[in-house]
Amino acid sequence: MSDPVTYHHLGPADMSLLLRVPEGVFDNPIDPIQAAAFLGDPRHEMVLALVNGSPVGMGSAVIMLHPDKPPAGFINEVGVLESHRRQGIASALCAALFTRLRGRGCHGIWLATEHDNIAARALYMHLKGRETTEIVVYDWDGAMDAEAGSGSGTGKTTS
């Protein structure tokens, strides 16, 4: 029997916990300056999955505001250590983010992933997401390049 997974919503006081996330959960090493900015911004949301107090997965999101629309939630990234995949952790992380975003007034939640990211697409279909085909993504300054660090918002996932 495996150890139970708990979920913790991060706030500004959780920097030490965030810095304990092992390699393989995020796309790149955590940058403490960016981590502090993320945790300090009230529009950013992050949930960690913990086993015996140690991080094994995370989900992050941002609340997007616009003058003529209600708030929308964007799921930045979901990542789970390879050793803990296919146990429902990614689904639970997404569900926790959905609840948090809806509770904060978001009237829509969305994300994007690569067409060939079969694991992510299976997860989002399992969560009853509607796959759209009408959107085209453009980027500038390498925003979608994984090595640039900002391509992580394309749904690196795994269940």
Domains observed in the chain: 5-154 (3.40.630.30)
Classify residue 12 as exposed, middle or buried by CB count within 10 Å of its CB (0-12, 13-18, 19+).
exposed
Please state the rounded mean pLDDT for residues 133-155. Answer: 66
Q: What is the pTM of this model?
A: 0.86
Write the pLDDT tens digit of every residue in 57-87.
999 999 999 999 999 999 999 999 999 999 9
Give the model's pLDDT for residue 156. 46
What is the structure's pLDDT at 77?
95
